[in-house]
Amino acid sequence: MEDAFIVQGGKALKGEVSLSGAKNVALKVAIAALLFDTPVTFKNIPHIKDVTELLSLLESLGVKSTFNNNELMIDPTGLTNDKVDLLHGSKTRVSFMLFAPLLHRFGTALIPNPGGCRIGARPIDRHIKMLESFGVTVVYDSSTGYYHAKTNGNKLMGTNFRFEKPTHTGTELAILMATLCPGISRIENVAQEPEIDDLINFLNSSGGQIKRVGHAIEINGVDRLKYSGAPYQIMNDRSEAPTLAVFALATKGDIFIKGATEKDLHFFIEAVRNIGGGVEIGETGIRFYYDKPLVATDITTRPHPGFMTDWQAPWAVLMTQAKGESTIHETVFEDRFGYVAELKKLGARIEYFTPEQSNIDYQFSMDDTINNKAHHQAIRISGPTLLHNGVLEVKDLRAGATVLIAALVAQGESVVNGVSIIDRGYETIDKKLGLLGAELKRV
Ligand code: EPU
C-alpha cells in the first residue's frame, strides 16, 4: 500500500486552491440521513477516508449510498441492523452518533467504544449521561468493549438536560436524538461550533424544529423528517483553510484560498496579522502571503469562537519560523502535541511547560490529566529555526498535515510515513499541494 510521501522541501508555495467540504459536517449529515425514511442527497461532501469508512460502516448496517463528484446520496430504507461491528466501529470515531438513528429505528443499539484520532482519552461520558436523560439505558460491557443501549419500553421522550461541560459531537448527538422525540427538549451548556449550526440548518430544511437560545438549544420534536428534494450543500472545511494558510506563510509563499471566509477564521486571521503575516480578505476567498519576517506570539486554544484546537498543530510549524519565543496552550484536548517529537527530528526547538494560569476552563475533564499528562498542556517554541530534512511519522490527522508542512519548509528530501491518516481528513492534499508548486510524490 502506498502510505508515504517523499517531499522535496524549501520551495515557496504559490497559487490558488479551493477549500473542500467540512469533514465534521459531512460525517454528521450522513448519520442524520438515517433519521429519514427516504433517500437524501448532499453536495460538497469531501472525498476523504473518514467519509468512505463511514459509508462502508453504513453499508454493513444495510444502508446504500452513491458518492460521485462530491455528491452523496444516502438511502436509509434498507437499515436493518442495530449492531455496529467492531472492525467498522474501530475505524470511525463518530460511530457513537449512530445511537440516535438506531434507537429511533429499533429501540436498541450496540456500538463499540469509538476509534478515530488518538488525541487524548476522548471519553464519551457526557454523551452517555445525555442519552440517559432521554430515558435510554446504556450499559458498557468491558469484556466486549460494547455499549448496549435500549429505550425504556420502546419509547423516547423529550428531555431537559445540561451538559456539565460543552461537547461538540455530544451536542450534535443530542440534536439527532431530540429531533424525532415527542415533546420539547432543552439542552443547555451546548457547544457553539458552526458545524453544529450546519447540521441544524439541514435538519430544519427538512422540517426539523431546532433553535439556539443563547447557550441552550431547544428542539420541538417532529413525527418525521421530509427531504426537500434539493441536495443540501454543506459548509466548507474550517480546519483546512488554516492548514493551507500555514503552507503559504511557512514556505514564504502566497496562496489564495477560494471558499475561505472571515467569519469562520476570525481568530486565526487576527493571529496571522499579529505575527506579521499578509492577509487579504476578498469576496470569494482569502489570500495569505508572506510579507515580512514573522514574529513570535502566544496562542491559547478555545472552543468556538476562539482559536480552534484543530489549528494549533499547523500553527506550531509556523512558529518555528517566527522570531522569538512563542507558546501554544492547548485547553480543549488533554494530549494533542503528538507532533512535537516529529518536529524536533527536523531541528525544531520546542519544550513542554506547565502554564501558570489556574483559572483556565479546560474542556477536558481534569481527571484525564492524571498519569502525568498535565505538563503536556503547553509548549514553548523558539525561532526562527532552519529546519533540515528527516523521516517523519504521522500520529493523528492534524499532526499529519503539520509534519507535511514541516517537510515542505525543511531543506532537502524528507519522507512522511503514514499518510493514509492525512487522507482521513484532507481531500487530495497531494494534488492540491502539487498545483501550488510543491514537490511531493506518493510512494
Ligand atoms: N470530553 C469528555 N467527555 C465527553 C465528551 C468530551 O471528557 O463525553 C472531552 C474531550 O475528550 C475533549 C473535550 O471534552 O477533551 C472537548 O471534546 P468535544 O466533545 O467537544 O470534541 P469532539 O466532539 O470529540 C469535535 C471534532 C474535533 C474538534 C472538536 C472541537 C468531530 C468528529 N470532531 O470533537 O475535530 O477538534 O470537536 O471543535 O466533529 C479534527 O477534525 O481533527 C477533530 C479532532
**Ligand 1 centroid from CA 183, angstroms:** 28
For helices 194-205 and 168-179, give the axis angle rounded to 10 degrees: 10
Q: Which three cell numbers stand for residue 35?
A: 433519521
Query: Ligand 1 — pocket residues by CB below 6 A?
Result: 23-24, 93-94, 117, 119-120, 122-127, 167-170, 191, 193, 239, 309-310, 332-334, 363-365, 397-398, 425
Q: Is the pLDDT of residue 57 over 90?
A: yes
Q: Which three cell numbers stand for residue 96?
A: 457513537
CA distance 294 to 317: 12
Of these residues, 117, 348, 416, 438, which one is catalytic? 117
For a mutational test of ligand 1's pocket, the pick from 50, 240, 363, i.e. the residue with the most ligand atoms closer than 8 A to its C-beta, is 363
CA distance 255 to 137: 51
Residues 359, 262, 33, CA angle at the centre, nearest 5°?
85
The pLDDT, as a whole number, for residue 116 is: 59
**Ligand 1 centroid from CA 385, angstroms:** 32
Please report which confidence band the pLDDT of residue 412 belongs to, taking 50, 70 and 90 as the band edges: very high
**Ligand 1 centroid from CA 150, angstroms:** 25
Q: 340: closest CA among 325, 328, 331, 356?
A: 328
Query: For residues 361 and 384, is the Cβ–Cβ distance under 8 A?
Result: no
Lowest-confidence segment of 3-17, 116-130, 147-161, 318-332 by average pLDDT: 116-130
Percent of the chain predicted with pLDDT > 70: 95
- The pLDDT tens digits of the residues spanning 157-198 come to 999 999 999 999 999 999 999 999 999 999 999 999 999 999
The pLDDT, as a whole number, for residue 90 is: 86
User: Listing from the earlier edge strand, what are the strands of the sheet with 136-141?
Assistant: 108-112, 146-151, 136-141
The pLDDT, as a whole number, for residue 342 is: 98
Q: 203: closest CA among 176, 229, 185?
A: 176
Report which ligand 1 atom has the smallest distance to the Cα of 170: 19
Question: Mean pLDDT, the chain, as a whole number?
Answer: 94
Query: For residues 10 and 406, is the Cβ–Cβ distance under 8 A?
Result: no
The pLDDT, as a whole number, for residue 119 is: 59
The pLDDT, as a whole number, for residue 154 is: 66
The pLDDT, as a whole number, for residue 269 is: 98
Please report which confidence band the pLDDT of residue 370 belongs to, taking 50, 70 and 90 as the band edges: very low
CA distance 170 to 198: 15
- The pLDDT tens digits of the residues spanning 309-365 come to 999 999 999 999 999 999 999 999 988 999 999 999 999 999 999 887 667 888 988
Query: For residues 284 and 293, is the Cβ–Cβ distance under 8 A?
Result: no
**Ligand 1 centroid from CA 169, angstroms:** 7
Please report which confidence band the pLDDT of residue 91 belongs to, taking 50, 70 and 90 as the band edges: confident
Report CA-CA distances (Å) from 181 to 172, 215, 387, 426. Answer: 15, 21, 55, 35
The pLDDT, as a whole number, for residue 231 is: 98
The pLDDT, as a whole number, for residue 356 is: 79
Q: Is the pLDDT of residue 375 over 80?
A: no
Report which ligand 1 atom has the smallest distance to the Cα of 368: 7
- The pLDDT tens digits of the residues spanning 191-217 come to 999 999 999 999 999 999 999 999 999
**Mean pLDDT on 100-109:** 97
Query: For residues 34 and 105, is the Cβ–Cβ distance under 8 A?
Result: yes
Percent of the chain predicted with pLDDT > 90: 88
Report which ligand 1 atom has the smallest distance to the Cα of 165: 14
Residue 90 phi/psi, 5° resolution?
-75, -20
Long-range CB contacts for residues 128-132, cutoff 8 Å, separation at least 24: 129/161, 129/164, 130/159, 130/161, 130/163, 130/170, 130/173, 130/174, 130/177, 130/187, 131/99, 131/103, 131/173, 131/177
Q: Cell 443540501 sits at which residue?
A: 232
HSE-up (13 A, CA, CB side) for residue 262:
8
For a mutational test of ligand 1's pocket, the pick from 28, 169, 187, i.e. the residue with the most ligand atoms closer than 8 A to its C-beta, is 169
The verdict on whether 117 is a catalytic residue reads yes
H-state helical runs in 61-157: 86-91, 99-106, 125-133
Q: Is the pLDDT of residue 121 over 70?
A: no
Question: Sign of the C-alpha dihedral, residues 370, 374, 377, 379?
Answer: negative
Q: Is the pLDDT of residue 96 over 70?
A: yes
- Omega before residue 182 within 30° of 0, cis: no
Report which ligand 1 atom has the smallest distance to the Cα of 124: 8
User: Listing from the earlier edge strand, what are the strands of the sheet with 14-18?
Assistant: 14-18, 254-258, 285-289, 278-281
CA distance 295 to 307: 18
> What is the chain's Cα-based Rg?
22
**Ligand 1 centroid from CA 206, angstroms:** 27
